[in-house]
Amino acid sequence: MAIATTVAFDAYVVDTLMPDLVGHDRKPSAFVVYLYLAGVAKRTGRDRVAASLETIAVKTGLSKSSVQSAIRHLRRRGLLKDEPASSSDPTRVVLRPWIR
Domain count, the chain: 1
Among candidates 53, 36, 52, 55, which has minimal Cα distance to 88? 52
Residue type, 96: R
69 within a domain of the structure (yes/no): yes
pLDDT in tens, the chain (100 residues): 567 778 888 899 999 999 999 999 999 999 999 999 999 999 999 999 999 999 999 999 999 999 999 999 999 999 999 887 666 778 999 999 998 7
pTM above 0.85, yes or no: yes
6 within a domain of the structure (yes/no): no
Q: pLDDT tens, 33-47?
A: 999 999 999 999 999
**How much is the CA Rg of the chain, to the nearest whole Å?**
13
Q: How far apart are CA 59 and CA 29, in angstroms?
A: 13
Q: How far apart are CA 80 and CA 21, in angstroms?
A: 13
62 within a domain of the structure (yes/no): yes
Domain that holds residue 83: 11-94
